[in-house]
Structure 1
Amino acid sequence: MKVFKFGGASVNSVERIQHIKDILLAYKNEKLIVIISAMGKTTNALEKVTEAFYNGKKEEALQLFNVIKNNHLTTAKYLLVTHYNACYEQLNNFFTEVEWLLHDKPVQEYDYYYDQVVCCGELLSTCIISYYLNEAGVANKWVDVRDIIRTDDNFREANIDWDYTSKKTIQLVQENDNNIILTQGFIGSTDENESTTLGREGSDYTAAVFANILNAESQTIWKDVEGVMSADPKQFPDAQLMPELSFDEVIEMAYYGAQVIHPKTIKPLQNKGIPLHVKCFLDASLPGTIIYKKQVKNLPPVIIIKEKQVLMHLHSQDFSFVGEKPMSELYKMLGELNIKPNLIQTGAISLQLCLDDRVEKIEQLAASASLIFDVQVEKDLSLLTIRHYTDDLLFKMTSNKQIILKQQTPQTVQILYR
């Protein structure tokens, strides 16, 4: 058994969807679970639908959703001939599921409605692609993953019930005659059949959950890049492909903000020693990157830049040491607001937090922290992280910057600058 995951960029056009067929044909004699994300920018579009609905703009929400409907129906018309009517009927069921909610008035928290609306993206894309593949001779079984992955009701960051999910996953594979099971990532459901999501980029995690439960031979993430690069090639044209990486290294990269693999994805694979391949969707013949337990030496410098950073200065109100009690209270605040600092620097009577500039979260944290600290906030900063840095590269990257904060170890340097 192998697990494949195709991201939104892999299914953002008719031509790219047709290319999935060519990739899967090369594995037609193998057992596959195929996870497919929402098409292109559909998730972002559905987020706007949710925002309009929650703000009481029902007509705007319905209009925005109508655009999404028409885009998917157009894609289905281009891809399908004999299977179009059956596909349309199933799509219409998903449309109705969302529209029924949009005609109501919000009475629950925003995150609840977010999950009920946004989950539609994965259902629409996989429905169309499943019918297309079956029509094109790539037999597959479409499955609503909400029937398999059981979660709690922590909407937008749901936690998986592993016992229930494991039983349903094994049962699904045992009862299925097709080599290919095609389903969604990112979503699940509660025991009351309310849709949930597993956090942004959660499709990679879904694939890892299936790989773990089924003791898969491997997991492959198909992307529109050559593999895992040492930096964002759009910012750094000389970024290098890294042919192999350890699980530990990828976790470090993810921790510092590299947009390669979702942090939660690695653990289920690492626990079972299942290798993760990152392959190029546009050219399947390229070797890509393999991520596994082996320790890899002589890696190139890995560069990560996070824009729109905030530095929160916290100073003891009575000039006492910032000790265990105020620190524990601060961490409690961070946990309650679900905020992960990108950098923390402590002094005797002060500390500084570098955070993503999420306005509402920053305001809430500043208000809570002001009960025990004097608080100042500095905005419009950037955070540079370099793993496996060299002195020459560090000088080149910072020579014209106004450095606000710096942390350095033999492996990693972080610099906050204006």
Structure 2
Amino acid sequence: MIVYKFGGASISNIERIQQVIQIIENIEAGEKAVLVISAMGKTTNALEKVVDAFFQQKATEALQLFEVIKQQHLTVAKYLLVKEYNTCYARMIDIFTEVEWLLHDKPVRAYDYYYDQIVCCGELLSSTIIHFFCKENGLNTQWIDIRDVLLTDNNFRDAGIIWDITAQKAQQVFLNTAHSIYITQGFIGATTDNESTTLGREGSDFTAAILGNVLEAKSVSIWKDVEGVMSADPKMFKEAVYIPELNYNEVIEMAYYGAQVIHPKTIKPLQNKHIPLLVKCFLNPSLPGTIIHNAKHLHFPPIQILKDKQVLITFQSLDFSFIGGQSIQNIYAFLNALKLIPNLIQFGAISVQICLDDKAEKINELAMLAAEKFDVQVQKNLQLFTVRHYTAAILNAMNAEENVVLRQQTPITLQILKLQKQ
């Protein structure tokens, strides 16, 4: 069994979908494969606007925005399909209807619940089109609604996996010998009450890793529009270089510090079962890509990660007493309650400084919670710059940076938090 994950960029237009089909056609005869499909292009962003309009009780606007998404997907299907179009159209209408019924109601539950019920249709639609295009090209594929397989808790927008049930269902569905290629969705799952959930933004990588784990896959491949993993975002850093080989530890560190190449939760399910992760280029499948596995003692170039929209919160004791164990426990309790993960922490004698992603509502709630026990200061519009395996030249350049509000350095990793350029 192999698992392939195709991201939104790989199926963003007609030409790229045709390239994906060529990759699928080259899967070796006799090999079973699960294809995890993301939403097309910027569909998730468009669906988020639908959710916003609906939750603000702008029903007409929400339906109009959704109509645009419908027509875009129908147009793609019309272009790609002839024999299979009517069957595909019927399946897509069912998905459209599932959302439209909801949009005609008024919101009575939390935003995150509606987000998951609406946004999940992006992956359902794209995987439906890919499935029928495969059939149009003579491939024996089976479409699977991953919500029938991947069971989660009801922590909407960041659902936790119920591993034992998911493993059992996945083995029943995907190890069936009737088909060799299964097409399903990334990013989404469902509760035991059949309510749709999502696994966090860019969670399709995680879906691929989950299925790789429970199906004991030979490998998991993530198909992207780059040669492989790069040492930095080439759009920001012209000195970025291709990295042919990484180990699990390094990729976890990169993801933690904000690198967008792999979803942060992806590595653990693969590392636990020693399943290699391949990052491949769908624009040129002949390129070797990057392999991520258990290798040790690798040499890495400087890896640079820039993360915008950061906030620094300073928690200072009210009576100038030292920050001790109880104070730290209180701060972590606040973070845990709001499901906030620190990007950087600096301890002082009477204060703790924590850098977080600027999720406005949660940051405000954190400040209010902590104000009962601390003097709380919030500084926004910051940028976190992280370099792993830095050189002397990079160290000198970072020392010369202006508007730095916080700095941390270890023998491997150097970080500065600075004012973000407007």
Which 10-residue stretch deviates more, 367-376 or 167-176? 167-176
Which runs of 5 or more structure 1 residues have no equivalent in the other structure? none
Alignment partners' CA distance in 2, 1:292 and 1:25: 26
Which runs of 5 or more structure 2 residues have no equivalent in the other structure? none
Equivalent residue of 1:181, what SS?
strand
1:73-97 per-position Cα deviation (integer Å, ceiling 9, x unaligned): 0000110011111100000000000
Match of 2:296 in 1: 295
2:20 corresponds to 1:20:
yes
Structure 1 residue 399: deviation in Å? 2.0
Equivalent residue of 1:264, what SS?
coil
Match of 1:369 in 2: 370
Structure 1 residue 350: deviation in Å? 1.1
Structure 1 residue 28: deviation in Å? 4.4
Work out whether residues 28 and 138 of structure 1, in 8 Å CA contact, stay in contact via their aligned partners in 2: no
2:393 corresponds to 1:413:
no
Match of 1:276 in 2: 277
Structure 1 residue 398: deviation in Å? 4.6
Alignment partners' CA distance in 2, 1:117 and 1:211: 27
Alignment partners' CA distance in 1, 2:341 and 2:312: 13
Alignment partners' CA distance in 1, 2:177 and 2:162: 23
1:42-89 per-position Cα deviation (integer Å, ceiling 9, x unaligned): 111111111111111111110010000000000001100111111000
Alignment partners' CA distance in 2, 1:397 and 1:79: 50
Work out whether residues 280 and 286 of structure 1, in 8 Å CA contact, stay in contact via their aligned partners in 2: yes
Structure 1 residue 123: deviation in Å? 0.2
Equivalent residue of 1:263, what SS?
coil
Structure 1 residue 238: deviation in Å? 2.0
Query: Normalised by the size of structure 1, how large is the TM-score?
Result: 0.98
Structure 1 residue 176: deviation in Å? 4.2
Work out whether residues 21 and 138 of structure 1, in 8 Å CA contact, stay in contact via their aligned partners in 2: no
Match of 1:10 in 2: 10
Matching of residues 2-401 of structure 1 within 5 Å: 2-29=2-29, 30-401=31-402
Work out the percentage of aligned pairs sharing the same amino acid.
59
Alignment partners' CA distance in 2, 1:297 and 1:161: 35
Amino acid in the other structure paired with 2:210: V
Structure 1 residue 309: deviation in Å? 1.6
Work out whether residues 245 and 296 of structure 1, in 8 Å CA contact, stay in contact via their aligned partners in 2: no
1:173-217 per-position Cα deviation (integer Å, ceiling 9, x unaligned): 333412100100111111111111111111111111111111111
In 2 relative to 1, CA 174–349 (structure 1 residues): closer, same or farther, beyond 3 Å? closer
1:352-392 per-position Cα deviation (integer Å, ceiling 9, x unaligned): 11122222122111111111111122222211100001121
Work out whether residues 34 and 174 of structure 2, in 8 Å CA contact, stay in contact via their aligned partners in 1: no
Amino acid in the other structure paired with 1:375: V
Equivalent residue of 2:67, what SS?
helix
Structure 1 residue 397: deviation in Å? 4.0
Structure 1 residue 300: deviation in Å? 0.3
Equivalent residue of 1:175, what SS?
coil
Alignment partners' CA distance in 1, 2:401 and 2:320: 35
Equivalent residue of 2:298, what SS?
coil
Alignment partners' CA distance in 1, 2:382 and 2:209: 34
Structure 1 residue 164: deviation in Å? 1.3
Structure 1 residue 138: deviation in Å? 2.1
Work out whether residues 345 and 353 of structure 1, in 8 Å CA contact, stay in contact via their aligned partners in 2: yes
Work out whether residues 28 and 179 of structure 1, in 8 Å CA contact, stay in contact via their aligned partners in 2: no
Counting matched residue pairs gives 418
Work out whether residues 148 and 188 of structure 1, in 8 Å CA contact, stay in contact via their aligned partners in 2: yes
